[in-house]
Amino acid sequence: MRVFLPLLIVLLTSLASAQQPSPEELLKLAVHEQQSGNLTAAIRHYRQILKLRPGMVEAKVNLGAALSDTGQYDQAIALFSDALPSATDKKPVRMNLALAYYRKGDFANARAQLAEVHQLEPGDPKASRLLANADLQAGNPQEALALLDPLAVNNEGDMDFQYLYGTSLIAAGRAAEGAISSKLLAMTWNLRCVSTPNFPGSTPWWVWPGTRRATPSPLNPPSAKR
């Protein structure tokens, strides 16, 4: 029996290795769980991936997005920060980092990250609006308006924008200047009573810059448009 024991151990080890999913297989499974809204399972699978392959940027970013969506902002921030230097496309990672800071209520750090995104793409309206809101939350409505004024003409029917814009105008003392209509003022005050702006959550790697329903291969994540 002793003669065959080493061979038996080798065979059992090989069998266990064959049954262990690869990081790529786990990534597909984790992405499916995340898209299905099963964040607990997705988080577990992403953690498994990072044990097998600690440097996988896609797993770090997707895990960070799942953690942020479950309110675990400090862990999400740590993952996004760790992924940022190695990411070939830094914009979506930095945006997710900013959103995690924002949702945590750390507007100073959120603004710092959003300013970097805005500097890369000054014409990106999403980055401009988020940066403006961070400015407003930090008590700097004039800086917020410098970003929002150029966007106002193209966003007259956007309720979230009107809330942010109207609130910034009121905070900056510009309501009496005629720069904001009585209709916009009424809309702003009414919205303030019933809702808050609908700002996005973190975005998993595979859907950037599309919607959460976009499903390109998670092994070939799309790059943000430059």
Residue 25 corresponds to which tokens in the numbers above? 């297989």
pLDDT one-digit tens code per residue, 155-188: 888 888 888 888 888 888 887 654 454 456 555 5
11-20, 44-53, 83-92, 96-105: range with lowest mean pLDDT: 11-20
CATH class of 121-198: mainly alpha
The hierarchical CATH code for the domain 17-89 is 1.25.40.10
pLDDT at 109 over 90: yes
What is the C-alpha to C-alpha distance for residues 109 and 51, in angstroms, rounded to an integer? Answer: 29
SS3 30: helix
pLDDT digits (tens, 9 = 90+) for 57-77: 999 999 999 999 999 999 999
Q: What pLDDT band is residue 197 in, cutting at 50, 70 and 90? A: very low
Q: At what angle are helices 125-137 and 141-148 packed, to 10 degrees?
A: 160
pLDDT on residue 48: 95
Distance CA 161, CA 207 (A): 23
Domain residue ranges in the chain: 17-89, 121-198
Query: What pTM was computed for the model?
Result: 0.71
pLDDT number for residue 189:
56
Assess contact for 174 and 145: CB atoms under 8 A. Answer: yes
Closest CA to 144 of 135, 153, 152: 135
Domains 17-89 and 121-198 share a fold: yes
